[in-house]
Every structure is written in C-alpha cells, then in structure tokens.
Chains A and B, each alone.
Chain A
Amino acid sequence: MQENLDQIFVLLKHWIVSLVPAPVQPYLSVLLSVAAIVVTFPLLFAISVWLERKILARIQNRLGPNRVGPFGLLQPIADAIKSLTKEDIVPRTADAVVHYLAPLVLVVVAFMGFAIIPMGRNMVLVDLDASLLFYFAMGASAEVAVFMAGWSSRNKYSLLGAMRAIAQMISYEVVLLLSSVTVVMMTGSLRLTRIVELQNQYSWGLPHWFIFTPWGLAAFVMYAIAGTAETNRSPFDLPEGESELVAGYHTEYSGFKFALFFLGEYLAMLSISSLGTTLFLGGWSAPFAFLGWVPSWIWFFSKVMLSICVFIWMRGTLPRLRQDQLMNFAWKFVLPLSLVNLIVAGLWRFMGEGWQRWVVTSAILIASYAALALAEQRQRRIGPRRYRYAE
C-alpha cells in the first residue's frame, strides 16, 4: 500500500499508456511526463508567489494579501488575470523579433532544466548519463535570453541591466559548477539518479546526505549563494533592482511577456532549489530511516519548498549588493573557497573512514574561510579610484 502510494504517479502513467495501441505508447509516455512537469511546476510557481508575498509581509510587520480568497490563496490567480489582460506595449524602435523571442527562450530553457531531476523513486523524465551537465547547459543558455531581452528593448537602462545580469551570471556559474563538481567527484557519476541513490543510505538512523559532511556543507552554502546570484534574486538582484534600473532587462515588457519573465525567474529558482535538493539534501530520500513510509515525492517537494522559503527569507533580510561588491565577492572569496573545497573533498576520500577526516577537513575549511574573510576585510582602504569608468 505504501509502495503504491510512493509510485502512484508512475502507476497512473503506466495505466494510461497501456490504454493506447503499441506504436503510440512511447510518444504518449513522454508526452504525459512532460505534461506532468508543465502542470506541476507552474502550480508550484503560483504557490511560491503566494508564499513570497505572505512570508515577506510577515517579516516586514504586515499582513500579506488577505482579501482574495481565504488567506489570499487566490491572489496568484488574480495576478495571472491581471497580467493576461494588460496591454502588450512594444517600443516602436525595439527589435520586434528578438523582443518577442526573449521571454520564450527564457521560459523554454527554464522548463528544460526540470527534465532530469528525479522527483521521486523512478520519477525522472529522462535518465541521462550526463544529466548534471545537461542542467548546467540549460542554465548557461538562459543568459542568452537575458541578453536578447536587454538588447532588443533599445533602452540604455535595459542594456545596462542585461550586461550586469550576464556578468553576474557568468561569474557565479563558475562557483555553481565547482560546488557541484565536488559532489560529482565523491559519487563518481554525473547521473542525478545515482547521486540520490547514494544519499539514500542510513547509518544509525541518520541519512548519508552530502550536506551532513564538512565539504558538503561548504559546497551547499556556496551553491546556495551562487544559485541566488544565478537567478538574480535578492541580495544579488541589482540587474532588476527596482530602485536603480527601473526593472533592468525587462523594463520594456508588459502584460503577458512580463508574466513570462516572472515565470521564468521563479522557475529558475525552483529549478536551482530542485538541483540543490538532489545534490546535497538527498533528493527524494527521507530524513530518518523510520520515516521511509512517507512517499518519496512528498519529501522532494517539501525540501524544494523549504529551499524556496529560505530564498524568500534571505530576500526579506539582506540588503542588495552593489555590482562591484558582488563581483569581488564571487571572484575573490567564493571561488577560492570552492577550489579549497575541491581539495578538501579529495582529502576526505583518500583519508578513508574514521573521525580524523572529519577533523582535518573541517579545520582546513574553517581556516581558509577565516583567511579569506580577513583578506577581504583588509582591502577596505579609501584611496584613489582603482576602477575605470567605461568609455
């Protein structure tokens, strides 16, 4: 019974697929899985939007939306109707084709990222051999969409916002990749299903999630920082800083196209959370061995929504980083720390089982963190300008 509940979506899909003749079956199977993703994640997007407004409001001493339905639960529907019925204004000098395609590319690429995430036992759309690489390939393609949006608007502020966004995304992409490579190193596989399987083991009731190891915790923190920067989320949201650049690269978009950008941003956030959950938090595995009776997909989606809540919590707390502070942080602090983390992960592997490796790896990580922190804080000298203005 519990096994059935765990595999309920897989069994449902098999049943529906068995109703059609054999030649159509593979196509229908893929189509059903794609439809499931295309339905589930926008639903999660609506829930995230509601959660964001309510949590941010409570952090800021106010209630969130509470008029449209009980506790404002129907507010995302009201927002969707509003954005669908708004006039779609395209600037006269804008590049019409590229302007039209930019939000499409962003949303398509964001959806593609979900294709390889294992959302439960046996619940992955495509089990690729190099699935992690596929995910990062899709993440890199999102930058092209950002550039297209910023340039096609023929607006200096949009262009500036787009260039800043791309610079930020490229810098933090390196950090993201290096943090994930630590996990790949330890599991020896790029296949996400294998990574989750390896974390699904328990010793003394506690799971083998990678976040519970020193190198895993460091990698997770760096992954979280890089993930926030990749999706242009506060405190790294200068490209769409509402007080500085109007709305950055999506200034000239209104109506449904803006809704698509919004969708794309939240989907990217959900996607980064899903990957982080898979790599570090054990994917669909339960926190304790005795909780294994709860269906795996419930664990997965709970962890993803918890990550979203942490994103929202960070947005409500931290002030925005300036562009040069952001880039300094990436290249001078997080990147060296992620390289140290790689070495530490290697040490962990080669020192073998035992308490020594915990102590040694934790000591190295803390020492390097302290050294980098001191080095960064010593650089705060007020002196002649050391940067150049753009010409």
Chain B
Amino acid sequence: MLGEGVIKGMAETAKNFFQSYFKSDRMTTVCYPEARIPTMHAARTFPFLVYDGEDKLAGLRCTSCQICEKECPPKCIFIEKSTDKKPDFTGRPQFYPVRFEIDISVCMSCQICTEVCPFESIKMDSVFELSTDDRFGGLLLKRDDLSKPNSYYHQIHPDEAAAVDAGLAEEKAKAEAKAAAAAAAAAAKATAAATQPAAGAGA
C-alpha cells in the first residue's frame, strides 16, 4: 500500500530518537576527549624504542646496527652510532645510538623497521595524539622521546610483548647453556691436562 513505507520509516526514526536518550546501543557516540574508545590491540602508528629495566640508556636494546635505517622505505630514521661501547642488559658491551631520530611526518607505519630488527628493540607504538604547532621540529621525535619501557610495551601489545620476552629468554638460556657447556668443556680439558702429566711423571 502506498505510504506504508513512509509510516514505518517514520516510526523507526522516532523510536531511534527517543531511545537514544537512554539506550546505549542507539547512541554510540563517544564524547572525545572526555571519553575514549580503547585502541585495538593490533593498532599501530609510529615506532618506539624498547628499553629493559629502569634506566633509559643502560637498558636500551638498540645496538645501533643501522639495519632499520637502511631498510626504511621513506628514509625517516636518522641514527648516529656511538664511538664507545656500553654494557647492555645481558652484560655484553655494545654500541649504542647517540642520536636516533624518526621524522613522523615522513613515516608511513609500514613496520619494516620492526620486522628487520635483530635485537627486538624497535616496536610499533599506538599513540595518535601527536599534534603539534611546530611543523618541522615538533614532528621529529628524538631518542629520549622514543624510548619507552618494556612494561609499556606489555601494556599496549601484551601478546606480542610476551612472545618477544619468551624468545629473548630462550636465547638467553641457550647462550647461558652454551657458555656453561663451554666452561664445563674447558674445565674438563684443564683437569684432563692436569692429570695427564702426573700420570706421565709417575710411569
């Protein structure tokens, strides 16, 4: 019947109007910035550097190998390697980046830097409120701004961070086992060498 669709449509919109006042599924607007929708767990915007422990510089995983700088497609990473070495989280002396800068007006969030990093030190962040009124300097993030603790990484990407930590722990265990085996082998060789001359002297 002509006109039926109009009546049904107007009834539906009237229902929408009145129920938007007290039903949450009819009013889905979130009043940003007073309230925010939580970001999804795989959201990514720009990279950040992970450091273990409390000290930003001492725990920084980045060894300034510059692979990410070479692999970055729009060339938005600028690294200056140090001339001295500092011990990293496991105690081994490593190079460290004196300057590590990312130009986020150029970065296209392709996460190639994350994929090629051998040290699990650069990961994707999910902050988006990076607006500034300084078009050039304000959009160039420096090393100290980019360094965030591992606990923060667990917060934003918990599954990824847990997998990374498990991988690092495994490598560390393997390295320690190898070192222990090497030490045991060296100790065995030393004791064998010590007993051999005594036997030779006795005969």
Contact = CB atoms under 8 A, between A and B. Distances in A.
Interface residues of B, number: 18
Interface string A69-95: 000000000000000000000000000
B1 A316 contact: no
Interface residues of A, number: 18
A124 to B, nearest CB: 33
Interface string A156-199: 00000000000000000000000000000000000000000000
Contact of A63 (B1, B3, B12, B31): B31
B118 interface: no
A55 B17 contact: yes
A61 B28 contact: yes
A311 to B, nearest CB: 12
Contact of B3 (A62, A66, A313, A373): A373
Q: Is chain A's binding surface mostly helix, strand, loop or mixed?
A: helix
Given A61-B28, A61-B29, A63-B27, A316 B13 contact: yes
Nearest to B26: A61
A317 B29 contact: no
Interface in B8-55: 9-10, 12-14, 16-17, 20-21, 26-29, 31
Nearest to A333: B2
B13 A376 contact: no
B198 interface: no
A377 B10 CA distance: 21
Contacts of B27: 58, 61-63
A318 B2 contact: no
B17 A58 contact: yes
Contacts of B10: 313-314, 317
Nearest to A370: B1
A58 B14 contact: no
Contacts of A137: none
Nearest to A54: B17
Contacts of B20: 58-59, 61
B2 A376 contact: yes
A373 B16 contact: no
A177 B20 CA distance: 39
Nearest to A310: B10
A294 B1 CA distance: 41
Contact of A61 (B2, B6, B16): B16
B13 A313 contact: yes
B14 A63 contact: no
B27 to A, nearest CB: 6
Contacts of A62: 27-29
Given A55-B17, A313-B13, 7 more contacts: A58-B27, A59-B16, A59-B20, A63-B27, A318-B6, A373-B1, A376-B2
18 contacts: A58-B16, A58-B17, A58-B20, A58-B21, A58-B27, A59-B13, A59-B16, A59-B17, A61-B16, A61-B29, A63-B27, A63-B29, A63-B31, A313-B13, A313-B17, A316-B13, A373-B2, A373-B3
**Which 10 residue pairs are nearest across A and B when measured between Cβ atoms?**
A373-B2, A317-B13, A59-B13, A317-B9, A62-B29, A58-B20, A58-B17, A63-B29, A317-B10, A59-B17
Interface of A: 55, 58-63, 66, 313-314, 316-318, 369-370, 373, 376-377
